[in-house]
Amino acid sequence: MPAPFEDLRESLLRAGVAPRHVRAYLAELREHLADLAERESAAGGDPREAARRARAALGDDETLAAAMLSRRGVRSVAARVPWLIFTLLPPLSLLFLVLLWTTALVLIGGANGLMRVGYNIPWPEWYHLLVLFMSGANNILLTPAIASLFVYIAWRQRLPLKWPLIATAILLLNFMRLGTQTGLPGHGGEAVIWARWMRHFNSLELAWTTPFSVSAWRVISAQWPLVLLQWILTLLPMLWLLRTYRAKEKIAD
């Protein structure tokens, strides 16, 4: 048996009402419905009939939805300006998380005396392994994680599929590179994207490429198994959302 006001919940979300407002409104309605049902039951009669009369007295879903939509400020930002959320925020989120992740490594290195400018001190093996591990995790998992976030936002607000699809496509069609072929001190020329910044704090280099550029195709051809893995992981949330929407459409039919 579906939960009370489940259809109303879906209608409000599709209309753009923020999930937090939907939760508060439905909690308010359930409390009111329980009070009405208790009064009807106290007057005598079958409990099921009392519940039915209480639900009728509360109003149908269209009336309740209209009452909620008449309130000001209940629509979410994602519903009001989806073009902003799903086009500009994906690349900005990628940039922010990469810088956050880089800063964390800088702080770890600084706390252990590895960031002293002017000293060519080889990094210890544990830090070298940490750098390589976090670099690999970033390259493979960061883009799928951001794609999952925007798919979740779209699902939570019941937005059309085109918006999370646009966000996913933007993430797939853009590659961010930090720095160039910079070697780890004392470890023989290993390519680490932010080593120069971590050693000198003054040369963070950002560059954006797309699959339509020559440099991007060089990366793809040289590391195609990792790129393919990243693309598959990035597309999985979108495929899940598509399947979820189709399942809901079948139930509605």
Q: Are residues 97 and 218 in the same domain?
A: yes
Quote the tokens at residue 105: 């490594």
Low-confidence stretches of the chain (pLDDT beneath 50): 1, 117-119, 177-206
φ and ψ at residue 138, rounded to 5 degrees: -65, -45
Last residue of a domain, one of 75, 93, 117: 75
> Could you give the CA distance from residue 163 to residue 154 in angstroms, rounded to a whole number?
7
pLDDT at 208 (0 to 100): 55
Residues 137 and 171 in one domain: yes
Q: How many residues does the chain have?
A: 253
Same domain, 32 and 46: yes
Euclidean distance between CA atoms 110 and 104, whole angstroms? 10
Question: What token pair was written down for 232?
Answer: 């598959």
Domain shared by 220 and 129, yes or no: yes
Residue 30 and residue 83 in one domain? no
Beta-carbon contacts of 80 under 8 Å, excluding residues fewer than 6 positions away, are 16
What is the reported pLDDT for 65? 93
Q: Are residues 71 and 194 in the same domain?
A: no
pLDDT at 116: 56
The answer to whether residues 20 and 113 belong to one domain is no
Asked if residues 193 and 177 have their Cβ atoms less than 8 Å apart, the reply is yes
Same domain, 162 and 82: yes
pTM of the model: 0.76
For residue 1, being part of any structural domain is answered with no
Q: What's the pLDDT at 74?
A: 92
For the chain, the domain total comes to 2
Shared-domain flag, residues 65 and 87: no
d(C-alpha 210, C-alpha 40), whole Å: 65
Residue 14 has a pLDDT of 92
Domain that holds residue 120: 78-252
